[in-house]
């Protein structure tokens, strides 16, 4: 089922159902599918950015990424089962990829990080088929070559860590040329998997305070996090909620 929140569709699926849906994509046809893990920052920016909103509508699957989205969906009367973040979805797809023999490609993050992340994934999943890695600090004139490289490697899953919304714009722009069955943006996930950035502890995640943990660990993010109260206020105003 799809719900609507601030003008955007969101798939009301839990993690398990999301993974099954992606598995379906891979079995169904060879058409390239594109997944957006929609966080409050993206949805807030999409309110006055037609291109970003269009990308959401073009996506084959839109997951509720973040406590803010789960809260807003519940408060406005169309709840979603749980948070499905980019990193969690990626980490749920990896064991399945190993089991099914799906090829994966990691594009993005600083030079060396995607390789390190790939190395750590291989340690945990020795039979995982990583068909390629490439850092995310390239010049526009290199993009054609990168797209060809990825297409030639023929991954089943492409994880793109260029930061939001660039990763979503990039996937959408090159989707047909890449011809990868499933692509998704994963933000800073490679840094976490490579062990360069520590993820917020599970107890804070459970308390829905991942945003607070990230603010403490990566204080330079405070400006970006200002969007969270703005997002909440927008929901309150738009849906005429009582506070
Ligand atoms: N990044 C990149 N190329 C760039 C800018 C950023 O590959 O030109 C990477 C950066 O190294 C990091 C990721 O994109 O690994 C973005 O991480 P962030 O935590 O900011 O993403 P978010 O999930 O918050 O969008």
Quick one: pLDDT at residue 44? 98
The closest of 22, 59, 27, 34 to 179, measured between CA atoms, is 34
> What is the tens place of the pLDDT at every residue in 104-162?
999 999 999 999 999 999 999 999 999 999 999 999 999 999 999 999 999 999 999 99
> What is the tens place of the pLDDT at every residue in 4-60?
999 999 999 999 999 999 999 999 877 999 999 999 999 999 999 999 999 999 999
Residue 108 CA to ligand 1 centre (angstroms): 7
Quick one: pLDDT at residue 68? 95
pLDDT at 208 over 90: no
Of the CATH numbers 3.40.50, 3.30.1150, 2.60.120, 3.40.190, which one belongs to the domain with range 2-200?
A: 3.40.50
Residue 195 CA to ligand 1 centre (angstroms): 15
Tokens 């996930």 — which residue? 189
Provide mean pLDDT across the span 169-197: 97
What is the DSSP code (8-state) at residue 170?
A: H
Our mutation pick for probing the ligand 1 site, out of 188, 193, 195, 221, counting the most ligand atoms within 8 A of Cβ, is: 188
- Give the separation between CA 46 and CA 185, rounded to whole angstroms: 16
> Mind spelling out the 3-state secondary structure of 177-192?
HHCCCEEEECCCHHHH
Quick one: pLDDT at residue 242? 85
Quick one: pLDDT at residue 77? 96
Q: Is 81 helix (H, G, I), strand (E, B) or coil?
A: coil
Provide mean pLDDT across the span 196-225: 86
- Give the separation between CA 46 and CA 55, rounded to whole angstroms: 9
Contact 131, 102 (CB under 8 A): no
Domain extents in the chain:
2-200
> What is the tens place of the pLDDT at every residue in 65-110?
999 999 999 999 999 999 999 999 999 999 999 999 999 999 999 9
Provide mean pLDDT across the span 174-199: 96
- Give the separation between CA 2 and CA 45, rounded to whole angstroms: 21
The closest of 180, 172, 183, 171 to 153, measured between CA atoms, is 180
Pocket lined around ligand 1, Cβ cut-off 6 Å = 108-110, 136-137, 161-164, 187-188, 190-191
């Amino acid at each position: 089922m799809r719900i609507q929140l601030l003008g955007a569709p969101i798939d009301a699926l839990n993690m398990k159902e999301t993974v099954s849906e992606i598995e379906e994509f891979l079995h169904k046809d060879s058409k390239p599918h594109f997944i957006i893990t929609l966080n409050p920052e993206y949805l807030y920016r999409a309110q006055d950015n037609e291109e970003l909103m269009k990308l959401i509508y073009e996506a084959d699957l839109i997951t509720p990424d973040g406590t803010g989205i789960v809260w807003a969906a519940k408060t406005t009367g169309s709840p979603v089962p749980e948070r499905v973040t980019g990193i969690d979805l990626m980490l749920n797809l990896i064991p399945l990829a190993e089991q099914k023999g799906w090829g994966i490609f990691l594009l993005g993050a600083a030079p060396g990080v995607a390789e390190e992340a790939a190395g750590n994934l291989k340690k945990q999943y020795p039979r995982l088929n990583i068909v390629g890695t490439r850092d995310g600090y390239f010049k526009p004139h290199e993009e054609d070559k990168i797209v060809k490289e990825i297409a030639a490697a023929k991954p089943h899953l492409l994880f793109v860590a260029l930061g939001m919304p660039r990763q979503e714009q990039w996937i959408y722009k090159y989707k047909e040329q890449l011809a990868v069955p499933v692509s998704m943006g994963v933000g800073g996930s490679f840094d976490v998997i490579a062990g360069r950035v520590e993820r917020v502890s599970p107890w804070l995640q459970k308390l829905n305070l991942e945003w607070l943990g990230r603010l403490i660990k990566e204080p330079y993010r405070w400006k970006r996090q200002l969007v969270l109260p703005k997002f909440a206020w927008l929901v309150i105003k738009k849906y005429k909620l009582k506070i």
